[in-house]
Copies of this chain bind each other. A is one copy, B any other.
Amino acid sequence: MEELLSFLNSIHPLNKDTRNFLISKLQFVEISKKSFLLKEGKVCREIYFVSKGLLRCFYIKHDKEISSWFMREGDVIISVESFFKQTESKEQIQALEDSSLYYISYDEMQFAFANFSDFNTIGRILTEKYYVLSEQRLYSLRMRRASERYLFLLNHFPQILLRVPLKYIASYLGITEETLSRIRSMKY
């Protein structure tokens, strides 16, 4: 748990009360490869921190799975709209490797926001960070060709390319595995 507290403290200094609250509420879970953290139609009621492992977020479109993002050590995971609005999720979250996570519930997080101003600051800064990533993905989808999106992954998220099976990378890029293989065989 110390790694998570250090991570939060590196964003903004954690008060002792906030730290103690988190220690008393944080839970730990280990899930095996292929098991689900969230299924479509369920409400995302927890916010997770990846201590170890790799997971993917995806949608089902006409019986096909469309990957929307990949989360690994140090990442915070929610289904964004489902968590913030406490509504049914349109997406699913599944482990791609055996994974270990810490989590607290939506209600506990709201309690922390209402009672600990340092936690509020941390929440704001983390939300800004993930909002920027979301906007980068929107830009990528609107403006870049698949080969350019692949290069962006290669330059900014090489760990993801190394660990995520190609079929999921292909569906994230919106192309077939064959096209992805062709792009990968090019020399840059």
Interface size band for A = 20 to 34
**Complex contact A138–B132 (CB within 8 A):** no
CB-contact partner of A128 in B90, B127, B141, under 8 A = B127
A84 to B129, CA, bound (A): 8
Stretch at the interface among A22-30, A93-101, A118-126, A152-160: A118-126
- A188 partner residues in chain B, CB cutoff 8 A: none
Q: Are A135 and B66 in contact (CB under 8 A)?
A: no
A61 with B143: in contact, given A134-B135, A135-B134 (CB under 8 Å)?
yes
A136 interface hit (Cβ, 8 Å): yes
Residues of chain A having any CB pair with chain B under 8 Å:
59, 61, 66, 68, 80-81, 84-85, 90-91, 113, 117, 120-121, 123-124, 127-132, 134-139, 141-143, 174
